[in-house]
Structure 1
Amino acid sequence: MSGTTPTERRYGPRFDAALAFSSAAHRGQVRKGSGAPYITHPLAVTALVGQFGGDEDQAIAALLHDVVEDCGVAGAELERRFGERVARIVLACTDAFERPKPPWRERKESHVARMRIAPGEVKLVATADKLHNALSILHDRRRKSVGEAVWDRFTADKHQTRWYYAAMCDALGHQWDHELHAELVVAVAELHED
């Protein structure tokens, strides 16, 4: 049998370089609502990717998944630094490349459609991203100091944000049966509870 078992997986110098690159790119950014340093999100997404069987390229892509969209890093730079596969995964996880960004609904519908037909290597990273975001919303919604005001931090309203998570969850599960997706299904169902 070829390949490695989960206990045999190792990350090398490319992972270290991606961690430093992501940290530098996101320096000064904070998470909506919590004010936590933004790098905590790519780190959490990377942890999920690693926990649920992702390889080094997928872990690197998880570290970098928001640098194009939120930091203006070019896909060509990612390819040069981290390889074609990493760049391809990151670009697939990016919902908009144009500046200014298209309207919210148009952008999200396009991204949902692309995720529906994305390969599993992309869906793993995208699912980890959406799961961490959904869990963050749920955590903040449970806090007495935040509650339902959690929805106010988003561009779209509560109903549109819920639509997006449900649509993305459905798209990510299309022809991809993975235990991480099952976790997202549970979180998205909880997002829809009042």
Structure 2
Amino acid sequence: MKDLEKHALRFATKAHEGQLRKYTGEPYINHPIAVAAIVATVDHTPEMIAAAYLHDTVEDCGITLAEINERFGRKVATLVAYLSDISTPYHGNRVARKALDLQHTALAPSEAKTIKLADLIDNTKTISTLDPGFWQVYKVEKKNLLAVLKDGDPVLWEQAAAQCE
């Protein structure tokens, strides 16, 4: 593991300390670790792995993009920015917020789209089996995301799409 990746894993582990996964109760850091492991199975860079570890820190931990930029560089911060939702409750109901976030994701570089595909793959594993009711909502949102994630890794895109069948 390269230094950038190790630093990102340590930082994300500390940022997510005490957080638990909604459906499994396991330490939350297991999700970013799983996302990074999925990204590592396809063509990737150290910055992509670092961003995979850090992808939920802005949304869930109160970490700023400026801090990510300062600690990990502009490339990682840019990827994390594209992986972070931009909507807030001010933007309306879930449908309106997800539409705004979808537009943001559509503009992402292919590296961020690859990480987002890995995120979807890992999230689907728990949501589809442990919350069948929400899965119906999430599946529609995921299909909408898949339409704008075609520039991501094709192997991961196929895996993510297969989960919706």
Same fold by TM-score, threshold 0.5 exceeded?
yes
Match of 1:183 among 144, 147, 159: 159
State the AA in 2 paired with 1:184: A
What TM-score does the superposition give when structure 1 sets the normalisation length? 0.78
Kindly state the Cα deviation for residue 136 of structure 1 after the two structures are TM-superposed: 2.2
CA spacing shift, 1:70–1:176, aligned 2, 3 Å: closer
CA spacing shift, 1:101–1:13, aligned 2, 3 Å: farther
Between structure 1 and structure 2, the one with the greater Rg is: 1
Match of 1:31 among 12, 18, 21: 21
Q: Secondary structure at the match of 1:188?
A: coil
CA distance in 1: counterparts of 2:136 and 2:121, whole angstroms: 18
Match of 1:65 among 55, 73, 82: 55
Deviates more, 1:55-64 or 1:12-21: 12-21
Match of 1:16 among 6, 17, 26: 6
The answer to whether 1:83 aligns with 2:45 is no
> Deviations for 1:61-115, whole angstroms, at most 9, x for unmatched residues?
0000000001110000000000001000001011136577753222211121222
Dislocated runs of 4+, deviation >6 Å: none
1:1-194 equivalences under 5 Å are 11-96=1-86, 98=88, 103-138=93-128, 141=129, 146=130, 150-151=131-132, 157-173=134-150, 175-176=151-152, 178-189=154-165
What stretches of structure 1 of length at least 5 have no aligned partner?
A: 1-10, 190-194
CA distance in 1: counterparts of 2:7 and 2:152, whole angstroms: 30
Deviates more, 1:82-91 or 1:159-168: 159-168
Kindly state the Cα deviation for residue 162 of structure 1 after the two structures are TM-superposed: 2.1
CA distance in 2: counterparts of 1:95 and 1:185, whole angstroms: 21
What TM-score does the superposition give when structure 2 sets the normalisation length? 0.90
Higher relative contact order (CA 8 A, sep 6+): 2
Percentage of pairs with the same residue: 31
Kindly state the Cα deviation for residue 130 of structure 1 after the two structures are TM-superposed: 0.8
RMSD (Å), alpha carbons: 1.9
